[in-house]
Amino acid sequence: MLTRRALQEQIERHLDGLLPLEDLSAWAEGALRDEEFEPAYQDQIVAELSVLRDATDPRRFQWEAPDPDGLLGELED
């Protein structure tokens, strides 16, 4: 089960330079396809995963790149 904390950890890995945006985006796509989500936060997790997934997909039009710091802030209690 994918929790908010697990999503935060992946975003933090990206911010720390350990996970390139392309890999984070691929991880998010796989999570959307294969994972179950923390029930109380399912909508929030899916929304943030969608932003991350779309970050490197050339078929999806983006006005701006995702803001990892902003996404982390939204995941905090």
Q: Containing domain of residue 8, as a range?
A: 4-75
Confidence label for 1 from pLDDT (cuts 50, 70 and 90): very high
Residue 51 scores a pLDDT above 70: yes
What is the C-alpha separation between 8 and 48, in angstroms, rounded?
A: 10
Residue 48 scores a pLDDT above 60: yes
pLDDT number for residue 58: 66
Structurally, the chain folds into a number of domains equal to 1
Helix (H, G, I), strand (E, B), or coil: what is residue 37? strand
Confidence label for 60 from pLDDT (cuts 50, 70 and 90): low
Residue 6 scores a pLDDT above 70: yes
